[in-house]
Amino acid sequence: MPIALVNGVRLGYDEYGTGKPVVMVTGTGAPGRIWRTHQVPALTRAGYRVITLDNRGIPPSDPCPEEFTLHDMAADIAGLIEHLGEDACPIVGYSLGAIAVQELLLARPELVTRAVLMATSGRTDALTAAMTAADLELGDGDGKLPPRFAAYVQALQNLSPRTLNDDEGLRDWLAVFEMSAVDRSAPRGQLGIQLIPDRLRAYRRISTPCLVIGFQDDLVIRPHLSHEVAKSIPGSTYAEIPGCGHYGYLERPAAVNAAITGFLSGRTP
C-alpha cells in the first residue's frame, strides 16, 4: 500500500484502475478497503481511477492518538489530492467522511469538481450525541465487546429491516461482523469529531455540484439529517435509497453505484 506524508501524518491509500481520478473517503473507524467489494469495481468499469483513503487513526495511517479535528481530516484529503498531482477531482464521502468532505468544499473548493455525500449530516442531534457519548465511554474503557454481542449490535444499528428479516442473509452478515469485530478504542480520535456544531448555514456557501444520498432505514444518520444538508447546499440533488440502513452502500450496492456513476457523469438521479 502506498503511503503519503501529508500535514505531518502518514496516510495509507490505494489506487485502482486508470482514467479520471475519484477519491473515496470512509466513515468512523472504517478502512479504505470497505469500497473494494462493490464501489471500486463499478467505478473502474465506468472508466475511473479510484483512490481510497485510510483516514488518520486507521492503520496503516498514523494512529494520531492526540486530539485532531474535522478540519484536519479535510486538510488530509486536500493534501492527498495534491500529493497525487491532481488539480481537481470528484470525491465520494460516507458518514464522517462525507462531513469532512463538506468542510473541504468550504475550505478548498478548487480541489473538488463534484461531490457525493452519503449518509451525511450538518449538525449533531440528540440521538447522535447519545450514540457518540456511549462509543466514547466504551473506547475509554477496554473498548472490547464479546464478538457475538458486537456483531448483533452492529447489525441492529446498521442494517435495514429488509435484511434483518432475511434469516439466511442475516446469518452471513453476522458471521462477517463477528470475524471483523473492531476494537472501539482504536478509532478513539475520530469519535469526538462526530459531535459537530450546526453547520447548515455555512453550507449555503458551497458552490460545488453535490449529490446527497440518504438511506431510508438508516438509524445512525437518519435520512432527514442528510436531506437537511441537501437543502442547505445551493443547487444540490438529494436521492434516498429505499430498503437499506447505514450500510446502504453494501446492502443496496447496485442502486448506490448507479446513483454515484450517474452523477459523476453529469446525469441527475
Residues carrying an active site annotation: 95, 218, 246
**Three-state SS at 193:** helix
Q: How far apart are CA 215 and CA 221, in angstroms?
A: 8
- Residues in the chain, overall count: 269
The answer to whether residues 64 and 76 touch, using CB atoms and an 8 Å cutoff, is no
The answer to whether residues 50 and 16 touch, using CB atoms and an 8 Å cutoff, is yes
The answer to whether residues 236 and 211 touch, using CB atoms and an 8 Å cutoff, is yes
Beta strands per DSSP E along the chain: 3-6, 9-16, 20-25, 48-54, 89-94, 112-118, 210-215, 237-241
